[in-house]
Structure 1
Amino acid sequence: MTEILILGAGPAGAAVALGLKRLGYGVRVVSEWRRFAAVEGVSQRVLDGLRQAGLKRALACAAAPSPRRVQWNGDGQSINQECLLDRPQFDAAIREDLRDAGIEVVEARVLRVESTGDGHLIHLDQGEPLRAGFLVEARGRSAPLAGGRLRGPETLSLLNQWQEQPGQPGSAVESLADGWAWMARLADGRCYWQITQDAGGLPPKEQLADYCAQRRGESALVRELFGEAALQPASLHARSSTAILFHEASGPNWLRVGDAAMAVDPLSGNGIFQSLSSALQAPAVIITLLQRPERAELARRFHQRRVEHLFLRFARTGRDFYALEQRWPEQPFWRDRRTWPDAEPMHAAADFSQLRVERAPVIHGDGIEEAEVVVTADQPLGIWHLQGIELAPIVRALQRGELTQALAALPEQPRRMVQGWLLAQGYRP
């Protein structure tokens, strides 16, 4: 069988590796350790995604939900909660999940990749080069930026960390005249603060630590969440937060997943979730490319369309949240982001007149096939099943004037579910 090599052991790379391993494929993962400490706030659906991927040890790393304060457009609220995730601990747990599944993890830095139609040669900073018939690029934002891509406004995040006394965990986010800041305090006293701004116009590198300390000193929210140590310069890591969508997320013998396929603005709060979303579909795409070459274009179209759909959904989530901040409409940071990537609504209103049946790629079993799906205003990729019930035959029956007969063939509970779905699409008997 073709050996599959995955570059990157984050949530996306690990989810692909575990999915392929369960299907009997030989797979190895190559990854270097994260070069900086970080913490992330995640929602319940991220935890559900980790569980679905089989990342049990990584899932156990999530702290209990803690309060998150939001200071946006001059209004403050603390009704939200999020689970704080210590990334070094989380990354180590992912490797344990992989090893528990019998997947080899090669800890090394990739120097370069030589690819041909016959396979890939991966040169590492130590040891002999590795060969693979199929390559999965899952190194996140650090993956080589090859090929055409859509980029959002150029954005940079400055992450600071320092240590205080143990205490109550919590997090907060606040809007600023020229950007926004997210901050978190872990129970053991580790503190994080990150400011996100336009990539241009920042002070020189050697002045950034003092600059960040000054910005923290201007924030009442910082003073409420942290102690006096927050007002001093702290260790700093700068990283790009520019939203990027690759126009080509696959090839005949390679696939991009997670942030290597699409990286979203951190304001959407969905980084790990979108990484898992693109990764969970990847095994079916890879198996189709390897075993059913006649369906290769279908599988690649499936992957690309869903990557683009996810990206735009999260990009519009960020756009709408930026638009809520009304105090600085002419500031370049807010002006550029409140209208990007487009003016399309986050969710299209139900329009029964747009309901139609099309043939489209779907996941069927372990691979990608073509099937009849129902395209709606809010689901442009189409819906195949509604909890196991194919919708295309129902819609075709409705179009023929035979809906009553089609519904009568269903048991009562599924029938009510389908009727409710039709009403939600704007159908009126």
Structure 2
Amino acid sequence: MTAAGRPPGPVDAVVAGGGPAGAVAALVLASAGRRVLLLDDGAPRPSPGGRDSFKIGESLPPAARPLLRDLGLLDGFLADGHPPSTGTYAAWGSGALHGISHLFDPDGHGWHLDRLRFDAFLRGAAVAAGAEPYRATVLAHLDGRLTVRERDTGTVGHLRSRWTVDATGRRCVIGRRHGHRHRQDRLVAVYSVFRDRRPSGRDHPRDAEARTLVEAAPDGWWYTTPTPAGRLVAHLTDPDLADPSLRTPRGFWRGITRTDHVRRRLDGYDSAGAPEPCWTPAHGLRVSPAAGPGWVAVGDAALAFDPLSSQGILSALHTGARAGQTVAACLADPDRTAAALADYTAFLDGIADAYRRNHAHAYGQERRWPAGPFWQRRHAGGRAVPGDTPARR
């Protein structure tokens, strides 16, 4: 099977997935002179204001700045005009709000991303470096062969390459066949985006708050942040603790009104036009091993984080860049494959260890509801809920 306009013949690497991790891996490999096929499902452009016009995963911390610079992407990224994030407010461990500012961060401020635009920017950079785009979805991986479905024709076929980069997100299509996935807990996120209905102008200022707000609650926690699509509000909890009414716009709005601080950020926003809330898995997840002869996992396929860390996109960029370098080194000198993969695994271990420490510390700071099941589970090490399944939507 060949992509339209792509000359037949073998490729050095297939990158399965066109999110931030996959796009950066493809960029690094193509920049190293390797022939790379970048698989993306090629979803149609969303209609403005439609349900699909927003993608969660909207925070990029200041630490991304030097990495984007090293990748040659910083100027283009800044030109895209993503709104700045100047820090965080948190009601965590007490009912009072505490602020963390980026004012004195050596890397400057962070950003509230338009994820659809950011992902497209990274894919465009990979293609400009020489990666070949292919509109297809990965279905399976067996014996070094990828089974894919072409987006435009629906044709199912097979691809082979010397290396495969698993950037399929939490599906982890390649990695799950080679290792075990370790789920931290059962956390899910239910979220919606609200539009500011106030007219702009001196007498009617629109929402200008540039910080993310996090608020703990008896059955989980909430956060809200401005995005180019509107004000995002999300509730994080376990599926067995989630109020069924959160599945409806009215029920989700009622949940917001029971918060102390998040609800105040919604002053001036119209609940009547809010779309049906979306649900998505949000638990920490790791595949082990995350690399082997002929394949490496990146991004959420390798390490997925609880959103409280605000490190998901940054980790995707870092793991994508490191995986691209690893595969390029293996292609250049096959005798170094074992050592290169060991180095990549050690790199992931370092990220995972830091995440576990920070996660335990963060949840350990909230002790107001010691009898609440959500908090008991996190204070006990985030054990999974027996017999529970993640929400799917």
What is the CA–CA distance in structure 1 between the aligned matches of 2:283 and 2:88, rounded to whole Å? 24
Q: Deviations over 1:158-211 (max 9, x none)?
A: 11112114431432111111111110124x671110111012232448844333
Q: Which amino acid is the alignment partner of residue 310 of structure 1?
A: I
Instruction: Tell me which of 203, 207, 226 is aligned to 1:167.
Output: 207
Residue in 2 that maps onto 1:37? 54
Instruction: Tell me which of 132, 135, 148 is aligned to 2:160.
Output: 132
Could you tell me which runs of 5 or more consecutive residues in structure 2 were left unpaired when the two chains were aligned: 1-9, 44-51, 103-109, 198-205, 384-393
Tell me, what secondary structure is at the counterpart of 1:235?
A: coil
Whether the aligned pair in 2 keeps the contact of 1:252 and 1:289 (CA below 8 Å) is no
Q: Which amino acid is the alignment partner of residue 38 of structure 1?
A: K
Residue in 2 that maps onto 1:64? 84
Residue in 2 that maps onto 1:374? none
What is the CA–CA distance in structure 2 between the aligned matches of 1:137 and 1:59, rounded to whole Å? 28
What is the CA–CA distance in structure 1 between the aligned matches of 2:268 and 2:42, rounded to whole Å? 32
Residue in 1 that maps onto 2:67? 49
Q: Deviations over 1:26-52 (max 9, x none)?
A: 012111257561352221102322332
Give the stretch that moved more between structures: 301-310 or 206-215. 206-215
- What is the aligned-residue RMSD (CA, Å)? 2.6
1:189–1:238 distance in 2 versus 1, CA, 3 Å: closer
1:79–1:249 distance in 2 versus 1, CA, 3 Å: closer
Whether the aligned pair in 2 keeps the contact of 1:245 and 1:308 (CA below 8 Å) is no
1:50–1:32 distance in 2 versus 1, CA, 3 Å: farther
| Aligned-residue offset at 1:279 | 1.9
1:274–1:226 distance in 2 versus 1, CA, 3 Å: same
1:325–1:159 distance in 2 versus 1, CA, 3 Å: same
Residue in 2 that maps onto 1:197? 237
Whether the aligned pair in 2 keeps the contact of 1:161 and 1:235 (CA below 8 Å) is no
Residue in 2 that maps onto 1:27? 36
1:50–1:340 distance in 2 versus 1, CA, 3 Å: farther
Instruction: Tell me which of 258, 279, 291 is aligned to 1:238.
Output: 279
| Aligned-residue offset at 1:336 | 1.8
**Counterpart check, 1:260 vs 2:288:** no
Give the stretch that moved more between structures: 16-25 or 73-82. 73-82
Give the stretch that moved more between structures: 248-257 or 163-172. 163-172
Tell me, what secondary structure is at the counterpart of 1:168?
A: coil
Tell me, what secondary structure is at the counterpart of 2:369?
A: coil
Residue in 2 that maps onto 1:101? 129
**Counterpart check, 1:115 vs 2:142:** yes
TM-score, length of structure 1 as denominator length: 0.72
What is the CA–CA distance in structure 1 between the aligned matches of 2:25 and 2:331, rounded to whole Å? 15
Whether the aligned pair in 2 keeps the contact of 1:6 and 1:13 (CA below 8 Å) is yes
Whether the aligned pair in 2 keeps the contact of 1:183 and 1:193 (CA below 8 Å) is yes
Aligned counterparts, 1:263-282, within 5 A: 263-282=304-323
Tell me, what secondary structure is at the counterpart of 1:96?
A: helix
Whether the aligned pair in 1 keeps the contact of 2:172 and 2:301 (CA below 8 Å) is yes
Identity %: 24
Residue in 2 that maps onto 1:220? 260
| Aligned-residue offset at 1:222 | 2.6
| Aligned-residue offset at 1:264 | 1.1
Q: Which amino acid is the alignment partner of residue 73 of structure 1?
A: G
Q: How many residues align?
A: 339
| Aligned-residue offset at 1:330 | 2.6
TM-score, length of structure 2 as denominator length: 0.78
Q: Which has the higher contact order (CA 8 A, sep 6+)?
A: 2
**Counterpart check, 1:18 vs 2:27:** yes
| Aligned-residue offset at 1:59 | 4.9
| Aligned-residue offset at 1:287 | 2.9
Tell me, what secondary structure is at the counterpart of 2:84?
A: coil
Whether the aligned pair in 1 keeps the contact of 2:22 and 2:320 (CA below 8 Å) is yes
1:174–1:90 distance in 2 versus 1, CA, 3 Å: same
Residue in 2 that maps onto 1:76? 97
What is the CA–CA distance in structure 2 between the aligned matches of 1:135 and 1:216, rounded to whole Å? 43
Could you tell me which runs of 5 or more consecutive residues in structure 1 were left unpaired when the two chains were aligned: 343-429
Give the stretch that moved more between structures: 60-69 or 1-10. 60-69
